[in-house]
Structure 1
Amino acid sequence: MSYLADGSPENIALAQHVNGRLRAESRIIAARAFLFRALGAGAFAALAGIGIGAAAYGYSYVTQYSSAAERIATALQTALADVTLKTKGEVTLTDNTLKLEGLPKQSAAPVPTKAQLGDDAVPASKAPVNTTFTVFKQVPYLDGQIVSGWNFRAAEDKPFQQYCYFSRRSNEAKGQVEIKIDLAMDGRVLPQPQKSDVNLSILAQNCVWHDGKSL
């Protein structure tokens, strides 16, 4: 209920005052909205700048180490290119055979000569002679040695008989005495004597067989 008459100066002034206050409040609200939008845009721009800066820093960090690795590799390549490796020895090509001189010599397996085989030796009866030869392998054991013998026929690469025994020499009052104990034959241990303190199986583990097998 209004106590003022319509169109009175007081009523007009009140309406103008109310309109002015509403416009002022709307401007305040618009200003606050603009402030919030500005703050949001500024924060977005700041975060975007930070992200771009971090990405640029990371790229420069990786590029720096990559370029450093390339420089190190180049330096090593240059250094190795200037290095000269020297070694002793002489390579001589003689009669289509390549020989290395100045290297340690390897001991060759003994080969019987024609004179040692005695192919021309015959008995007085003129009977035919079959020539065989034996290769011995010695393995030191305690105060003696384990001897393995391989019997070969001429022109054959596989022995037709193999045997193994323990041998030891001792000085007695009457002179030097050789003790010999048979251990195995053709890869098999001989029967163990009943009255013997020597274990043939243990000693036979040091026998050397042509086929490389062990007992």
Structure 2
Amino acid sequence: MSYLAPGTPENVALAQHVNGRLRAEARISNARAFLFRAIGFGAFMGLAGAGLGAAFYGYATMNEVGNASDTLAKALTQALETTTLKTSGEVRLADNTLKIEGGLPASKGLPDVSSLTGNQGKSEAPANAAVRTSFTVFKTVPFLDGTIVTGWNFKGDEQKPEQQYCYLTRPQTFGDGTTSQQITVAMDGKVLPQPAKSEINFATIARSCIWFDPSKL
């Protein structure tokens, strides 16, 4: 029940007041909705940025690891290309004697050096340079798990060796493989000094050395 007649100024003012209140509440609701939408959009953008950043970081990390692997591989390749690996070995013959094809001349007891060398080195060597030819004859004797080796170093066509040496070679395990250990025990028929911590007796080994003897050729 209203005490105001329709169309009166008081009724019009009340209606305007109610309409203004409704519009204000509508604007407040719209503002709140916009705020929530803005918060949601901001959270979405933040999460998207974090995900994108993590993706770029992972890609950069993988790329860096790949570059490091390539660099390491190149360094190892260059190191192997410039490294010289050295190894030593031994050839054992059935009669424990190194033989030269064609045999030894009966008169001299030594191989024909001129037939072995031929014209080698003449074209490369200077006109005033002398070509020196040398060779080594090995004699071997089995000893326990190793071999006693005597070497005769001949210079040119001399009848006796310039130098002789005798050493013991034994197999030695190194890591996953097996190598040979070489121990020199005598030089030119003389036994070398016995080391304090040596496991072998030099004098005993030297008895099996085969020194050069022209009478036995």
TM-score, length basis structure 1: 0.43
TM-score, length basis structure 2: 0.42
Q: Which has the higher contact order (CA 8 A, sep 6+)?
A: 2
Q: Which has the higher strand share?
A: 1
Radius of gyration: which is bigger?
1
